[in-house]
Structure 1
């Protein structure tokens, strides 16, 4: 806003031509005056002009007095415009909105390799956090302070916005002082961040299928899949796995137990492996290694199964046909084999893992044995040299000889450890307790049963029988099976 004499008023040569410019925010007034050597500018002239324009706060008295003094002392030209800031308000101090600082960053998009190819399956779509890891920090709002404009009106700052962040049950809120709150994970799990909400879910829950849309899954906790694990995908988890649909992938590794509601049909050369137990409806054309027990409802067809516990096909018509089943414990099914006499191998009481480890250690024994024999020859040569020198070994030979003796000790220790493992794996090749093969209905021709070195080839159908195997028996003890239910 500017104030000047009205256009219809004829100016007096002795008058002061004064004007005032006020900013839109009312926080500053600029006073201008045209220099007139015939008229002296007094402090009161400026003050009155300000007062007429309702400017009452923040008046710059010292600057006005300095202008009054300069009017007399400086060599101004007539008509020259002099100006000063005659008043300045007190700015309000703005508030600070509350805010949230997030420490967990989003995963990058699909990575393109140097050949321009994108791997859509190996995208990290899930963010994992550790127990006690920092997730976010909440900063409180800060109130502003009121100011005043040059007309004496209070300038009030707006109310600050409070930070919006809700936390789930697996997030700890810690007071840090000065109103700050640190949010930390209460457990290891999947980080969840949805708008103004964060939480940690110890179980990775995938509502859809695991496939191209989700990418391959790798998680060191429990995983729950709402539909299928599609062919071509892979899953690795250190906890338990629950699948509401089917497993079609042949690349599944589970650190705990595994439950598949519909069934397993991998049709590949890969491996489905579980460190715990396996429960499913059926297994078809799959390679499976389970360190616990297996419970199947309907059937096992054309599959390679290794089970370190017991295996049961529970349905009254439950069957095992085709492929091979290696089981450390007992096996029970209604039907084994089929009318087509498809080759079906049943091995009970064998600890496949220890047998494979024994083969590996026996191979290592040959290599370590040769290394040990070579080191013995080297030691004999050193001892012969020392004897010839009557114990006076040259300085340049001492380090070399120490290395020979150290290598000998190392080879000896490795061979002794290998021999120890061989004896342990030999003792653990087979189940020392009684194991059984229970056939509730029919055992068809084409089935081969093995227990240790004993092999039983079925050439004619057998009904409702139990094969009992013990280390003290030369062959199986066969009894009739009776339904006790």
Structure 2
């Protein structure tokens, strides 16, 4: 607040500026000498109030109509920050892709796979651009700079396009819609509403496949680039997918069921079937199956058991129980049987030889190029062609060796953690192998873990869960 007085000290005027500098008020006592509008403006100017003057209010003060109160005589203009751009999505972005774990530890796949889907032509998102910022001004005439709103990058992904307005995103095909790593993908999905049997025929589709009913024996279901999801039961069918295969119930294969997935394989149970997965195999029960997993085999639940068959995983096998009181024969293998160190040494040596040969060929080509610049000998061109073919072959050989080395490194990483864990019981009749070393279970064991140490297998007793 600033206080001003006249020269004879008989008159006074008080001026107060708000903390935010966006308003200024005047107080004039009743009976004070008359102030003209010009004098009031002059006093305000002396107090630094020069902007946003309220002419009508100042005139009322000059006319003696307002006194013994604070009267706002100047108003600033607040700045308006711009709002950042944002996307309004027309689909559920956050979905739980994990199956439900029940109280007994078993896995419930009944709600698995409920991923949003869209139809061709649906609007999947609308962009709301950043709004403009508006600078303000305080009563002193100072500019109040507003923060500018930031625009977001355009949406990236597959299966949709941006309309001419640059803000509306529309699906250009029907399918499942998922958001991964800040990108949106609409994957084509083939849906069978009922059962799939020999009468309906087999399926081979590039994208995801969903079968809402059962899959009968003798049927083939192939997803060349996607996943397979079956809501019902599967009999002796052939299922192959480039990604995951999930059976909400399970497979009773009768010795004919076959599953091949480059991702994970999940189901309530597997019985009398063959499974090959590059990832993990997860179930609540496995009975008399032949299973190969590139990572883990996990059998969950209080009564989750592996009974019969041959189960192998490159990393770990974990089950609640293995075998039964009838001492059914079980073969359980974790890790890799071959000597990976020896394999790695051989591959490394082969790659070194191939690189040396490649270098000799490259030098030969360089010498021929030099000679060809000096002479016009047609025979040199034929020799160069032969060397070029050899160089291409060596490139392919080196590339293949590098892939094998990378695969061996990955296998070694898995072998380092290879083990078989049994949360409850492992019965006699079970043969356990870890990284090529075997042990035969002779008596009932509880809460144990098998791992290779040196040239043998060590059995650790673990705490009961």
* Alignment TM-score, normalising by the size of structure 1: 0.49
Q: Which residue among 400, 417, 423 is the counterpart of 2:405?
A: 423
- Is this contact kept in 1: 2:243–2:264, CA < 8 A? yes
Q: For 1:365-380, what aligned pairs fall within 5 Å after superposition? A: none
1:453 equivalent in alignment to 2:436? yes
Query: Relative to structure 1, is the Cα distance of residues 325 and 401 closer, same or farther in structure 2, using a 3 angstrom cutoff?
Result: same
1:243 equivalent in alignment to 2:243? no
Query: Relative to structure 1, is the Cα distance of residues 203 and 405 closer, same or farther in structure 2, using a 3 angstrom cutoff?
Result: closer
Distance 2:297 2:398 in 1: 37
Q: CA deviation at 1:441?
A: 3.1
Q: Which residue among 233, 248, 271 is the counterpart of 2:219?
A: 233
Q: Larger radius of gyration, structure 1 or 2?
A: 1
- Is this contact kept in 2: 1:436–1:466, CA < 8 A? no
1:414 equivalent in alignment to 2:396? yes
Distance 1:425 1:201 in 2: 29
Deviation sequence 1:351-376 (CA, Å, 0-9, x none): 99x99xx89x97xx79xx99x98998
Gap runs ≥5 in structure 1? 1-128, 134-169, 176-183, 191-199
Distance 1:208 1:201 in 2: 21
Q: CA deviation at 1:185?
A: 5.6
Aligned to 1:480: 461
Distance 1:236 1:262 in 2: 19
Q: CA deviation at 1:268?
A: 5.0
SS at match of 2:275: strand
Aligned to 1:349: 335
Query: Relative to structure 1, is the Cα distance of residues 254 and 441 closer, same or farther in structure 2, using a 3 angstrom cutoff?
Result: same
1:304 equivalent in alignment to 2:290? yes
Aligned to 2:127: none
- Is this contact kept in 2: 1:286–1:303, CA < 8 A? yes
* Alignment TM-score, normalising by the size of structure 2: 0.50
Query: Relative to structure 1, is the Cα distance of residues 423 and 202 closer, same or farther in structure 2, using a 3 angstrom cutoff?
Result: closer
1:333 equivalent in alignment to 2:319? yes
- Is this contact kept in 1: 2:358–2:391, CA < 8 A? no
1:442 equivalent in alignment to 2:425? yes
Count of aligned positions? 289
Aligned to 2:172: 186
Distance 2:381 2:256 in 1: 52
Q: Which residue among 305, 330, 351 is the counterpart of 1:319?
A: 305
Q: CA deviation at 1:467?
A: 1.9
Q: CA deviation at 1:279?
A: 2.4
- Is this contact kept in 1: 2:241–2:262, CA < 8 A? yes
Gap runs ≥5 in structure 2? 1-117, 123-158, 165-169, 177-185
Deviation sequence 1:431-485 (CA, Å, 0-9, x none): 1553432223332233222222322222x12321322436x6554442224333x
Query: Relative to structure 1, is the Cα distance of residues 245 and 203 closer, same or farther in structure 2, using a 3 angstrom cutoff?
Result: same
Query: Relative to structure 1, is the Cα distance of residues 185 and 424 closer, same or farther in structure 2, using a 3 angstrom cutoff?
Result: closer
Deviation sequence 1:78-103 (CA, Å, 0-9, x none): xxxxxxxxxxxxxxxxxxxxxxxxxx
Query: Relative to structure 1, is the Cα distance of residues 295 and 415 closer, same or farther in structure 2, using a 3 angstrom cutoff?
Result: closer
